[in-house]
Homo-oligomer: A and B are copies of this chain.
């Protein structure tokens, strides 16, 4: 039946329309400051319509986060170009931290905002495992050249360092270090480099 097909297609297009508007506003205005009414205005529908396609505002967040994890994964693909495993690890961590500094609002959504209910129900987000496995996969190829006790600790340590640096910056806690504004990015980069140096055999 062609009509049901078209209906289904239109439904998916509507979902996309909503998500695209939501994503743009979440990034430019922030999640909290974006209201359902704002999104509805943008796409020229009534607020109630959004609830016909998504359960609540949290589900909108969940969907946008999934999109964002794909963008992070694509950043990895773009930045991690070396063949040497250790060099790939360097590029990966730099890519992660760079993503956070280049897209702070997106990073905020993905890693700092409270997890939406659906993420706990579904055991994660779309595209999130792929991004995480990029790290564990890279580590597997060079874990014997690293000083870490095991691969779990290696993954967590590297992720925690990267996430710590980015989130201390985004949430402005790094300011208590009283570094000159134009030096922050450099010190963070140097910290990443130093960490990468210390973990190698």
A124 within 8 A of B: yes
Q: Are A155 and B177 in contact (CB-based, < 8 A)? A: yes
Residues in chain B near residue A198, CB distance under 8 A: 147-148, 198-199
Residues in chain B near residue A171, CB distance under 8 A: 111-115
Interface size class of chain A, counting residues whose CB lies under 8 Å from the partner chain = 35 or more
Which single member of B132, B161, B176, B190 contacts A176 (CB below 8 Å)?
Answer: B132
Q: Are B167 and A163 in contact (CB-based, < 8 A)? A: yes
Residues in chain B near residue A168, CB distance under 8 A: 111, 159-160, 163
In whole angstroms, what is the CA distance A124 to B172 when docked? 10
Q: Are A149 and B115 in contact (CB-based, < 8 A)? A: no
Q: What's the least CB distance linking A99 to chain B, in Å?
A: 15
A3 within 8 A of B: no
Residues of A161-201 at the interface with B, using a CB-CB cut-off of 8 Å, are 161-165, 167-168, 171-177, 179, 187-188, 190-191, 194-195, 198-199
In whole angstroms, what is the CA distance A112 to B124 when docked? 20
Interface residues of A (CB under 8 A from B): 111-115, 119-120, 123-124, 128-129, 132, 147-149, 152-153, 155-157, 159-165, 167-168, 171-177, 179, 187-188, 190-191, 194-195, 198-199
